[in-house]
């Protein structure tokens, strides 16, 4: 494993308590930033002490655990904070489809964090808080079709509905992409700042060029305690308070959306039951109101059996019915048949893990893959037997507007 890492000696890690750093994103230098922020708290990072591409295939999470054990387990750590996210941390992004290449784990050289009234700075080697360069505006943005045009995607939705009605499966999530080209190179820090400001209740993330603000917490592990937030069933915000309330009530009463949500909750229950000594799943969803959409949401909590890390939970849960479908294997087959694209990291797990096995991982939604002046934007919709292709297209467009806002300001 040491040869795979390209390391000649164990990492030397130091974590020290620091004063309140203010806005975490504003402390990032301009090159390849990493981030996981919600309500102003979380981690930002930069530099690379170790990086690896995780081989695709059904054993990729086990391979990643071995890599992490070899990298973080052998590190020489001086950690005066000893909190989740202190000491050495790896950021990661896994592709949605286990067959697809592109999953990555990175141990940054510098991590600045704030949580529950404490702040700390972790360094590997001689890294320090760098002087921050000015933000770069992306300038004018031109959009183009992704893998499918809007009419082609609606046709794919119609085909999926027919397959559901025929009894082949109960639900499938179909994604679509949109391309964007900017006048100037895209500064990820600009996107992170706009997303964190506009969607503070979401998890604003950046890892290996995948940038977004996801409302969906796949899992948080703190010691033996785990938390997850299941989202499935969506409607747009209203034109005013009364319309907002009416739309939320209609979503809550929608048989199609309630069934979609129930599928997602049951898939999480089935994944977590074998890992947990106790598990609490609400009988009824609640309404999560974001600045652009409303979701049916179910918070799930549990207590892990001894020895399971956050990555073990990620492996068990991915893909949930909220991003794949029901039953999972059939849904993956239908996605490969109808989407006409490689999702890459979209709707895959994204987040961080520390040397204790604590961490936070979300589902990479409302996101884009950034490369220089180019961005590939993603959105997806849960398709049921009663889905209307035009309504699903409108929902996807509403979700795409999150990253369009991030690009345009």
CATH of the domain at 55: 3.60.120.10
Q: Measured between alpha carbons, how far is 386 from 384 in angstroms, rounded to an integer?
A: 5
> Does any domain span residue 212?
yes
Compute, in degrees rounded to 10, the torsion defined by CA atoms 325, 328, 329, 335: 20
Looking at the structure of the chain, the number of domains it has is 1
**CA 248-406-401 angle, 5° bins:** 40
Band the pLDDT of 167: cuts 50, 70, 90.
Answer: very high
Tokens of 8: 């000649």
> Does any domain span residue 389?
yes
pLDDT at 128 over 60: yes
> Does any domain span residue 130?
no
Q: Which residues, other chains included, contact 72 with Cβ-Cβ below 8 Å and sequence gap of 6+? A: 11, 88, 90, 107, 354, 355
Band the pLDDT of 8: cuts 50, 70, 90.
Answer: low
> Which residue's entry shows tokens 């049951």?
266
DSSP secondary-structure letter at 25? G
CB atoms within 10 A of CB 327: 15
Q: Measured between alpha carbons, how far is 74 from 96 in angstroms, rounded to an integer?
A: 30
> Does any domain span residue 112?
yes
Q: Measured between alpha carbons, how far is 129 from 20 in angstroms, rounded to an integer?
A: 14
> Does any domain span residue 241?
yes
> Does any domain span residue 369?
yes
List residues with catalytic annotation.
Answer: 171, 216
Q: For 123, what's the count of Cα atoms within 13 Å in the CB-facing half-sphere?
A: 9
pLDDT for residue 212: 98
Write out pLDDT tens, residues 20-42.
999 999 999 988 899 999 999 99
Tokens of 237: 């915000």
pLDDT at 1 over 90: no
> Does any domain span residue 387?
yes
Q: Do the Cβ atoms of 165 and 157 come closer than 8 Å?
A: no
pLDDT at 100 over 70: yes
pLDDT for residue 253: 93
Which carries the bigger pLDDT value, residue 343 or residue 126?
A: 343
Q: Helix, strand, coil: what percent of the chain each, to 5?
A: 30, 35, 35
Band the pLDDT of 3: cuts 50, 70, 90.
Answer: very low
Exposure class string for 144-155: b at 16+ Cβ within 10 A, else e: eebbbebeebbe
Mean pLDDT in residue range 228-257: 90
pLDDT for residue 131: 67
Share of the chain above pLDDT 90, in %: 82
> Does any domain span residue 255?
yes
pLDDT for residue 4: 43
Bridge-based pairing state of the strands 76-79 and 12-17: parallel
pLDDT at 2 over 50: no
Q: Do the Cβ atoms of 213 and 196 come closer than 8 Å?
A: yes
pLDDT at 256 over 90: no
Residue 10 burial (10 A CB sphere; 0-12, 13-18, 19+): middle
DSSP 134-179: PP----SEEEEE-SS-HHHHHHHHHHHHHHHHTTS-SEEEEEEEEE
Mean pLDDT in residue range 148-154: 97
If you average pLDDT over every residue of the chain, what do you get?
A: 93
pLDDT for residue 13: 96
pLDDT for residue 311: 93
Q: How far is CA 349 from CA 54, 219, 328, 401, in A?
A: 13, 10, 16, 22
Q: For 30, what's the count of Cα atoms within 13 Å in the CB-facing half-sphere?
A: 11
Write out pLDDT tens, residues 315-374.
999 998 889 999 999 999 999 999 999 999 999 999 999 999 999 999 999 999 999 999
Write out pLDDT tens, residues 185-210.
999 999 999 999 999 999 999 999 99
Which carries the bigger pLDDT value, residue 376 or residue 289?
A: 376
80 is in which domain, residue-wise? Answer: 2-125+140-408
Q: How far is CA 20 from CA 40, 113, 117, 122, 197, in A?
A: 11, 9, 8, 14, 19
pLDDT for residue 355: 95
Phi, psi of 128 (to 5 degrees): -145, 175
Phi, psi of 207 (to 5 degrees): -155, 115
Write out pLDDT tens, residues 43-80.
999 999 999 999 999 999 999 999 999 999 889 999 99
């Amino acid at each position: 494993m040491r040869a795979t890492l390209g390391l000649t000696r164990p990492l030397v890690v130091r974590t020290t308590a620091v004063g309140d750093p203010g806005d975490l994103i504003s402390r990032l230098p301009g090159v390849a930033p990493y981030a996981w922020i919600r309500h102003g708290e979380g981690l930002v990072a930069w530099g690379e002490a170790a990086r690896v591409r995780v081989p695709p295939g059904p054993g990729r999470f086990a391979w990643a655990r071995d890599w992490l054990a070899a990298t973080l387990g052998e590190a020489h750590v001086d950690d005066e904070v000893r909190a989740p996210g202190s000491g050495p941390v790896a950021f990661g992004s896994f592709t949605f489809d286990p067959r697809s290449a592109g999953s990555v784990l990175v141990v940054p050289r510098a991590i600045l964090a704030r949580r529950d009234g404490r702040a700390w700075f972790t360094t590997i080697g001689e890294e320090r808080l760098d002087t921050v360069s000015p933000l770069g505006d992306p300038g004018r943005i031109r959009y183009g079709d992704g893998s499918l045009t809007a009419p082609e995607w609606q046709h794919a939705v119609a085909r999926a509905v027919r397959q559901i009605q025929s009894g082949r499966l109960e639900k499938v999530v179909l994604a679509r992409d949109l391309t964007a080209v900017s006048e100037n190179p895209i500064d990820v820090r600009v996107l992170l700042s706009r997303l964190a400001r506009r969607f503070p209740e979401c998890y604003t993330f950046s890892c290996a060029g995948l940038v977004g603000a996801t409302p969906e917490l796949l899992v948080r592990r703190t010691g033996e305690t785990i938390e997850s937030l299941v989202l499935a069933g969506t409607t747009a915000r209203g034109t005013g308070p009364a319309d907002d309330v009416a739309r939320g009530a209609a979503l809550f009463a929608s048989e199609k959306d309630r069934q979609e949500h129930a599928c997602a909750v049951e898939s999480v229950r089935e994944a977590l039951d074998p890992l947990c000594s106790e598990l609490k799943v609400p009988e009824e969803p609640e309404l999560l109101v974001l600045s652009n959409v409303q979701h049916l949401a179910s918070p799930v909590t549990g207590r892990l059996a001894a020895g399971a890390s956050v990555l073990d939970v990620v492996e068990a849960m991915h893909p949930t019915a909220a991003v794949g479908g029901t039953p999972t294997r059939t849904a993956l087959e239908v996605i490969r048949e109808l989407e006409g694209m490689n999702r890459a990291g979209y709707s895959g797990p994204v987040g961080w893990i520390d040397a204790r096995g604590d961490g936070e991982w979300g589902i990479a939604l409302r996101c884009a893959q950034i490369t220089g002046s180019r961005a590939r934007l993603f959105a997806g919709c849960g398709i049921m037997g009663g889905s209307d292709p035009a309504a699903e297209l409108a929902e996807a467009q509403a979700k795409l507007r999150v990253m369009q806002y991030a690009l345009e300001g």
